[in-house]
Amino acid sequence: MEKYVRMISIPDLIGLVQTAVPDAEVNALDKTGMKDHFIIHVTSKAFEGVGIMDRHRMVMEALDPAMKDGRLHAAEVKTATP
């Protein structure tokens, strides 16, 4: 018997990131059309003075619940400051 896993919606994905980085402007694109691979652009003042790897860790930590439960398979993350 196969287990059905609901894929994440773009609004839910954005909500996860904004919960962790409240001032974030988040744009997400479904990379494959399968609702499990996304390109995510996050712009936030919280990234000022923070190295790129730590910025990505901040975003990936926010996405961790969706990764663990299977709603999200892959995320290509781009970060910037305003």
Query: Which tens digits make up the pLDDT trace of 11-29?
Result: 999 999 999 999 999 999 9
What DSSP character marks residue 7?
P
Q: Is the pLDDT of residue 2 over 70?
A: no
Q: What is the 3-state secondary structure (H, E, C) of 37-80?
A: EEEEEEECHHHCCCCHHHHHHHHHHHHHHHHHCCCCCEEEEEEE
| Phi–psi pair at 12, nearest 5 degrees | -65, -40
Count of CA atoms in the C-beta half-sphere (13 A) of 44: 23
Query: Which tens digits make up the pLDDT trace of 36-63?
Result: 899 999 999 999 999 999 999 999 999 9
Question: What pLDDT score does 6 carry?
Answer: 82
Domain chopping of the chain, boundaries: 10-80
Is 10-80 CATH 3.40.1380.10?
no
Count of CA atoms in the C-beta half-sphere (13 A) of 80: 8
What DSSP character marks residue 34?
S
